[in-house]
Amino acid sequence: MTNPRKRLSAEVAWLPGIGPKRVGEVLSILESSPADLLKLDCFSSVAETNLLVAAFIRLSFYNVDEIEVWILKIAQLFESLNFEDLMVTLNDDRVVSGFPEVSDLFSISAEIDKRRRYYRQSIVSVLNSMPPRKLVEAVTAVVESATNYGNDPGPILIADLIDSYEVDVQSILDNKEAKINSLVEKLRVAVDTNQPDSKLDLLVGHLVEIVKDWGIIAQPIQISAKSRGLDHHASYRVANLVRSLSIDIFNEYDKVDLTKRLIYMLNEVFMVVGEFAEQITEDINLLIEMQKKRRVNSSLESISDLCNDTIEKVENQPTTANLEAQKIINIAPQLLERLYDENYNAETIENSKDSIAVTLMHCAVVHASNTGDWKPCIEFLEHAVDFACSDDIKSSIKINLSEAIVQNKLYEELRPIKSAPNPRMINGTGTKLYGSTDRDQVSGSFITTYYFVILAIPILPISRYRVIPTDKGYRFLGKTHLRTLDKWHIAITLGLIAWLAISI
């Protein structure tokens, strides 16, 4: 105990700030009735945390609520620990015992880190003594309470606990994810080969069961990740896999009931993973509603076929999105005129117009993604707004239209380049990029000028580019026109060169 480091470790691991008589009393309680220590709160944070952890590992827990209370109390106490207060407490004890005072907060911090690891290990050891299902239930309850269901940052000890939990259950999650992948593939094959609905129901039921089991185990990790502003990549991976399946069996095979089962399950399992479940429900429910409305009357087949064929062709051949959108714009008014002539009710006509609007929006999105050419997309989306009747659909189109207008303004004057310039200087002479104008906050891009330089002084503007900074330099999005200022710069430079040549 005379070694300074060992003594400090022992002091921090003991009951600093508690007198010998009181120490004897609390140790007696620890041995005879450890649960009663939870009611005592008149000690320093580190002393009380040490006592509660010592009591925690001595107790047998039979319900989740009880273990939740203990873990939360320990985590909150550790969170409230103040290094400077602890140093004052330790030094008060040392004055009494005649040992030199502690003056190094870093040493105290190092010892607290050791206690933090010990606390985490102690909690994990108690949890590991529980049946697996109870363990998962307890960890979930703790992280939900500590973080307000992921909406607030939790105590650091809870984050440590979840990190340990994630390592422990990773192999289980991986195994279940492999089963999910296998089941998704079997379902794809089953629907593709027109297997009976009874077999599809069994496969979907099995998939729902496995994903729910996976979600129960992953939920504490999801909640903790949300509270820390992080993404749980495995959750996104599994959710996207099943979501993709649900969309495909709806779009390609019209399996509405199976799609609904998968959607509702995804919303349940991934409700804390960003807004993932909400997005799934909104997207797929919109498609389901549109599908139902398209079937109201067989006379709507002409419009329905036009929209479906267009979407299918654009999906298979994205380069045709422009032509297909133009075809919709030219043909759709004539088809709608027929509906008016045949006195269809307003709801039926509005549903048809919504189908056309959604199809045009799809063409615009595919064309922009495939070509980066935003100008035609503006026209398509403006027509889509005119067609749309549903407030939800019109709102979605307007959001896309606003984005298309912004992107077109940024990139309409850009010309594609075959290869990026290679700024290089030798002894201050060569080429270099200067300046940053017209910044785009969304992409982080800006326009910069490519100069010929002498002695690091820009002499001649060669060209201008829109670029995005990267770790290794820039990503060149395209080439734009020189400004009037640049042209004057060139003229003045060439004039000076000519004047010097004549003078010499």
Whether 179 is in a domain gets the answer yes
Let me know: does 461 contact 482? Beta carbons within 8 Å: yes
Distance CA 306, CA 463 (A): 46
Contact 199, 180 (CB under 8 A): no
Integer Cα distance of 26 and 418 in angstroms: 78
Runs of H (alpha helix) within 228-275:
233-251, 256-269
Domain co-membership, 70 together with 22: yes
The predicted model gives 450-471 an average pLDDT of 88
pLDDT at 218: 96
pLDDT of residue 20: 85
Extended strands (E) in 285-342 = none
Per-residue pLDDT at 298 exceeds 60: no
Give the pLDDT confidence score for residue 395 in this predicted structure. 92
Residue 398: phi and psi, rounded to 5, are: -65, -35
Domain co-membership, 15 together with 100: yes
Are residue 11 and residue 81 in the same domain, yes or no? yes
d(CA 490, CA 478): 21
Q: How is residue 14 written in tokens?
A: 């003991």
Which domain, by its residues, includes 361? Answer: 297-411
Cβ proximity of 360 and 381 under 8 Å: yes
| Res. 301: pLDDT tops 60 | yes
Contact criterion met (CB below 8 Å) for 140 and 69: no
List, for residues 123-145, the tens digit of each pLDDT value. 999 999 999 999 999 999 999 99
Q: What is the pLDDT of residue 484?
A: 86
Q: Are residues 179 and 238 in the same domain?
A: yes
The predicted model gives 71-80 an average pLDDT of: 94
Q: Which structure tokens are listed for 165?
A: 């939990």
In order, the DSSP letters of 99-126 are: PPPP--HHHHHHHHHHHHHHHHHHHHHH
pLDDT tens column, 330-349: 988 988 888 887 777 788 88
Quickly count: other Cβ atoms within 10 Å of residue 178's Cβ: 10
- Residue 172 has which token pair? 């289980």
250 part of a folded domain: yes
Q: CA-CA distance, 214 to 208, in Å (whole number)?
A: 10
Q: What pTM value is reported for the model?
A: 0.57
pLDDT category, 42, cuts 50, 70, 90?
A: low
pLDDT tens figures, 197-235: 999 999 999 999 999 999 999 999 999 999 998 889 999
> C-alpha distances in angstroms, 33 versus 27, 51, 56, 176, 315?
10, 12, 11, 42, 69
User: Are 283 and 326 in a shared domain?
Assistant: no
370 neighbors 321 (Cβ within 8 angstroms): yes
Helix (H) or strand (E) holding 475: strand 473-480
Q: Does one domain contain both 352 and 456?
A: no
Those residues with Cβ within 8 angstroms of residue 70's Cβ, 6 or more apart along the chain or in another chain: 38, 52, 56, 59, 61
C-alpha–C-alpha distance, residues 489 and 492, integer Å: 5
Give the total number of structural domains in the chain.
4
Predicted confidence band of residue 283 (pLDDT cuts 50, 70, 90): low
Domain boundary pick from 242, 259, 292: 292
Tens of pLDDT along 138-178? 999 999 999 999 999 999 999 999 999 999 999 999 999 99
Residue 435 φ/ψ region, left for φ over 0, alpha for ψ in the -120 to 50 degree band, beta for the rest: left
pLDDT in tens, 230-250: 889 999 899 999 999 988 998
pLDDT tens sequence across 344-360? 778 888 888 999 999 99
What is the pLDDT at residue 137?
A: 95
User: Are 9 and 126 found together in one domain?
Assistant: yes
Asked if residue 103 belongs to a domain, the reply is: yes
